[in-house]
Amino acid sequence: MTSLEAQSLERPGDVLAQLLAEPETLGVPGAHHALCGMLARESGFRALYLSGAALSATLGLPDLGIITQEELCRAVKSLYRATHLPIIVDGDTGYGETLNVMRLVRDLEEAGAAAVQLEDQMLPKKCGHLSNKNLIGAEEMAQKISAAVKARTHLKIVARTDAASESLEEALRRAKLYQQAGADIIFPEALTQSEDFQLFSKELEVPILANMTEFGKTPHRSLREYQDLGVKIVIWPASSLRVAMKSVEQFYLELAKKGDAREWLDRMQSRKELYELIGYQDFEKLDHSIEQSVLP
């Protein structure tokens, strides 16, 4: 079935809740555009993460909170239309204060999001694994979370705290406050020790999300290792972007040097593979005026 045909779908937030009710830890890859999301779905993943850092990078911008809400929602809409998977969306600092957060929640629900992640940094915000982050007050962040809960119908609220850069005790204090404000999931960013994850899992009553980003402060762990630590969701937010960009960089360098792409054919997605992924001929069948294409 193509994305143009009417489908009876459950609300994305409800689908995510069902996945979190299962005993296994949920592995969620980042998908910075629709085609990546479709590849993730075909690989067997049942949920996606849209990273603000990855989306910013695709626009040629740094992850400093300078993409717009409209750009974010446009990306969510295309990703959900292509995959119909529940998407956890990086909402950065909520694009403003209480009313802005509520508007973001409403717009993301309309775009097809399953959850929004909000963080307790000041603007300009930074990647959670960088130094010298500035945080807003914990009570101010709790008010944002309460506003998001008030605005949502099914969207799950992920509360991220970057306070571990100050102390683990402050991060846990904030996490408990955010839980009381109505957060459905807690995301303690840039933890380093296994015991830290175990502590949050023990002390909190809502699911814990771990960020398995590369080149950061958190050591690499497998999905199973995180499950043993009590973590319920693990994201790889920008991994696919990093893999793709390194490959494209190498291709461009060689193409510029040799002026010939033939040596890369076995490393390319073929026309047939692409058309099967996007359902090219399924779309053709919807319009009887289009004759079925034959691949060269």
- Residue 210, domain member (yes or no): yes
- Residue 132, domain member (yes or no): yes
Domains held by the chain: number: 1
- Residue 281, domain member (yes or no): no
Residues 104, 51, 72, CA angle at the centre, nearest 5°? Answer: 35
- Residue 290, domain member (yes or no): no
pTM for the structure as a whole: 0.95
Whether the Cβ atoms of residue 89 and residue 118 lie closer than 8 Å to each other:
no
* Mean model confidence pLDDT for the chain: 95
- Residue 98, domain member (yes or no): yes
Beta strands in the chain (DSSP E): 26-29, 48-50, 87-90, 115-119, 156-161, 185-188, 209-211, 233-236
Edge-first strand order for the sheet with 185-188 is: 48-50, 87-90, 115-119, 156-161, 185-188
pLDDT in tens, 151-171: 999 999 999 999 998 899 999
Q: Is pLDDT above 90 for 252? A: yes
**Distance (Å, whole) CA 53 – CA 62:** 7
- Residue 255, domain member (yes or no): no
- Residue 6, domain member (yes or no): no
The CATH number linked to 132 is 3.20.20.60
Task: Name the helix (H) or strand (E) containing 58.
Answer: helix 52-58
Calculate mean pLDDT across residues 251-256: 98
How far apart, in Å, do the first and last CA atoms of the chain sit? 25
Calculate mean pLDDT across residues 140-158: 98
**Distance (Å, whole) CA 183 – CA 159:** 6
Q: Which of 36-40, 117-121, 192-196, 291-295 comes out lowest in average pLDDT?
A: 291-295
pLDDT in tens, 169-190: 999 999 999 999 999 999 999 9
Whether the Cβ atoms of residue 96 and residue 158 lie closer than 8 Å to each other:
no
- Residue 121, domain member (yes or no): yes
Residue ranges making up the domain that contains 195: 12-239
